[in-house]
Amino acid sequence: MNRIGIAIGLVVVLVVVCSAAPVSRKHNPHHHHRLQNLEPSTRRDGAIRRPNSKPVRLPSLPAIELESVMSAEEAAAVRRAVRDTESDADKIIDFYTTGAGVGQTYNRLADFVDTIGNRVCGSPELDGAVQYMLKQLREDGLDNVHGENVTIPHWIRGTESAVMLEPRFKPLAMFSLGGSIGTGGQNLTAPAIVVTSFDDLHAKAAQGLTQGKIIVYNQYCDWEKMPIDCYGLSVAYRTQGASQAHAAGGIASLARSVASFSINSPHTGMIDTIPSAIPTACITIEDAEMLNRIQNRGIPITLSIVMNAKNVVPHISQNVVAEWTGSTYPNEIVLVSGHLDSTCCSSS
């Protein structure tokens, strides 16, 4: 693996995100000043490269006025630091966009996901991913590579399905949300009511319209106008939808997938309170919109769901930690972290 020297120490943490356990930096008295590898994910012009492919343009993000978050003196110091390191940054970017490193990041990621597959919390695949990363990081010559034990929830999805029975029969693509309880293997059949926000849910609950219903969230956000904020605004219906629906008397909840685009593809994820009080899952944007349209015409809706999801005994896993020791400032640290686990429906 080609390496580029770094002056400031870098700590890499691959986190099992279903746990909130803290990660510590273990002292290692045997640090060596090695040349290490930094891999930027995008080009300076905002493009991503895959092997033998044309650059893919990323949407530009609004520039941050440094003076809005720090003093003018601090902002000037930041700009000087950026100018001082620009030539080093150019070398790294050129190496991975036009040099010998082209495709390296993509190919290494592909090897990982092709070999391990999906890595749901508590699964043997996640345990395998931890060992894969520990071995890879040691082979790459990183410092202080180690795992730190952490207790994580162990949730099993099981088989699942959802259908609309009235006003017509239609299967609904769905994924249970991580941490949800199941329906005990039985059909949970009930009238459904669509709400467009938590405020709408509370208003309908005050009218007695949500008791004993399957609550369907069809929250809308303009992803083109708010490509960053929409995720945070929308994901609340996935993480908090079950608890809010339960408080309103609902017996299950279905959330519109948190996505800017859909081709009948539900998006799963975790919920805030594990286990959930009621079964909860996500459905596609298309089906959430369809159910909303039917309700707006005054037509009653009946849904039926079956979920064999269950929470079992918590599992001991590990967060993976590695260090790249800085050659000039070994005690100054930049922390980089990311997911190591994944949903059980995708290996990415």
Secondary structure (DSSP) of 6-28: -SEEEEEEEE-TT----------
Q: Is the pTM of this model over 0.75?
A: no
At 30, the pLDDT band (50, 70, 90 cuts) reads very low
- Sequence-distant (≥ 6) Cβ neighbours of residue 177 within 8 angstroms: 238, 242, 255, 268, 269, 270, 271, 276, 280, 281, 282
Two tokens, residue 310: 């269950």
**Confidence label for 69 from pLDDT (cuts 50, 70 and 90):** confident
Per the CB < 8 A criterion, the answer to whether 246 and 277 are in contact is: yes
Of the listed ranges 1-15, 50-64, 96-110, 156-170, the one predicted with least confidence: 50-64
Domain covering 158-308, topology: Glucose Oxidase; domain 1 (3.50.30)
Calculate the CA dihedral of residues 227, 233, 238, 244 and round it to 10 degrees: -170
Say if CB 303 and CB 189 are below 8 A apart: yes
pLDDT per residue over 75-111, tens digit each? 888 888 888 888 888 888 899 999 999 999 899 999 9
Which ranges of the chain would DSSP assign to H, the alpha helix? 72-84, 86-97, 104-116, 124-139, 198-206, 229-239, 241-247, 285-296
Contact by Cβ (8 Å): 197, 205: no
How confident is the model over 336-340, as a mean pLDDT?
88
Q: Where are the domains of the chain?
A: 8-153+313-339, 158-308
